[in-house]
Structure 1
């Protein structure tokens, strides 16, 4: 049992308060999700972080945040929009620094449309990466300075290698890959993408973070693990073969399903 990976969770500050005993029982990695809000980032986010830090006394896992994403993409072509995106990413990293966070999730810009159309344009793929580099450049430098990793999470990604190539293009230890198992399963079931374990294999040691959620291959369900149709033994087998020790973060719509999810993976002998 002790050699099995320890599962963490994505929670709000209030959710961590509810599940604090579970999160402190083992060195479970934590992702706080309050800071996706532009209203909070433009307001008194310091008070929210200070509240979290008090609750985190005794917490031994790694910690980080889900970065802002509402209303924008990393490859925005409009320079004025890019300026807002740059601001939001830097605000998120300010939170990470104060929190002692070592990761911030950002959303992949690759869409299902891109899969069919990027190669329809001269330098379509190159231009997309250039726009992301322009947008993320200041945040990458800031992340390097504070010892934080920007982890790029698949959203609509049909080809798991697109996101990998984007992360590698920065040539920085501060840019890594994230996998959301439910998003990958949606893409597999609804758009013909590979199964979830293939996403893990494609990422390899660039994989620094995983959102664990179950789904049905049709929609982004965020069900408790075991409630959908993801083949969890194949996912954990693939994870066992990479050396990067990614944060394994249960991300559910209903936080009350976190203990159940851990128990189900433990019963299968996959995690603790």
Structure 2
């Protein structure tokens, strides 16, 4: 591959907790790579002294000018809850996540999709079910979207159990906001493809189109949410990157592994395959 072709390849970033920043600082800053911080998604952190953690993150990232994001809160709730009291808790968590974004200068926050396997088999069983679910998401997130617009943060909705990759796109579009877009987790998509009849991963990319602004890169076996290093599972990476190549939205390509000590190994696999840099 010549130098011009190599520099036209998409650049890889990674997701990691703050404690790993020192280990990857040179790699991140050398390429000013996209980074996703994984510290601000639990109630324990968000209800605690999270500002001290934010201060340490800013210190570690001195000299970093890449695109910074966080994984938003998700444990213990869904964003389409029918219970109005639960919705108030979710609203609080979303605002806390946006507080963290503003504090560290993050411009993107990952939010989990509400759509389940049950939904896929039952939305058409009761007319209006999907519209009702979308309405509940708006009741939960509308205030957070306004806040995100004000502080320059984009909420990206990540597939979890999603079988139909178009549903999240429709949900994101329903906000009519440049600050709500779509995320794809390759391992989640591959799980759904192998276990629940969803299309393959590259179809998720095609369905998202230029609404796609964030990708979690992880390998899996189509059975579970593995978060393996690329090459250890069965995802067809060339087809995924061919689909990504057709986009102009420049999504953040975030390596997200269970074992964060192996991020460079995962990156090296994709670099050697001629898919990224």
TM-score with structure 2 setting the length: 0.97
Partner of 1:216: 221
How far does the alpha carbon of each residue in 1:193-216 deviate from its partner, in whole angstroms, 9 at most, with x for none? 000000000000000100000000
Partner of 2:132: 127
Kept in 2, the 8 Å contact 1:6–1:27? The answer is no
Kept in 2, the 8 Å contact 1:211–1:249? The answer is yes
How far does the alpha carbon of each residue in 1:153-172 deviate from its partner, in whole angstroms, 9 at most, with x for none? 00000000011100000001
Kept in 2, the 8 Å contact 1:26–1:60? The answer is no
Find 1:56's aligned residue among 61, 66, 71. 61
| Equivalences for residues 40-119 of structure 1 within 5 A | 40-119=45-124
Q: Distance in 2 between matches of 1:16 and 1:152?
A: 25
Q: Does 1:259 align with 2:264?
A: yes
Partner of 2:165: 160
Deviation at 1:60, TM superposition (A): 2.6
| Equivalences for residues 144-183 of structure 1 within 5 A | 144-183=149-188
Find 1:184's aligned residue among 186, 189, 211. 189
How far does the alpha carbon of each residue in 1:79-131 deviate from its partner, in whole angstroms, 9 at most, with x for none? 00000000000000000011111100000000011000011112101000000
Q: Distance in 1 between matches of 2:198 and 2:127?
A: 24
The runs of 5 or more residues in structure 2 that have no matched partner are 1-5
Q: Does 1:193 align with 2:198?
A: yes
- Kindly report the root-mean-square deviation, in angstroms, between the aligned alpha carbons of the 2 structures: 0.6
Deviation at 1:24, TM superposition (A): 1.4
SS of the aligned residue for 1:34 comes to: coil
**Any runs of at least 4 consecutive aligned residues in structure 1 with deviations exceeding 3 A, and if so which?**
none
SS of the aligned residue for 1:184 comes to: helix
The total of aligned residue pairs comes to 272
How far does the alpha carbon of each residue in 1:51-79 deviate from its partner, in whole angstroms, 9 at most, with x for none? 00011011131001000000000000100
TM-score with structure 1 setting the length: 0.99
Deviation at 1:144, TM superposition (A): 0.2
Partner of 2:254: 249
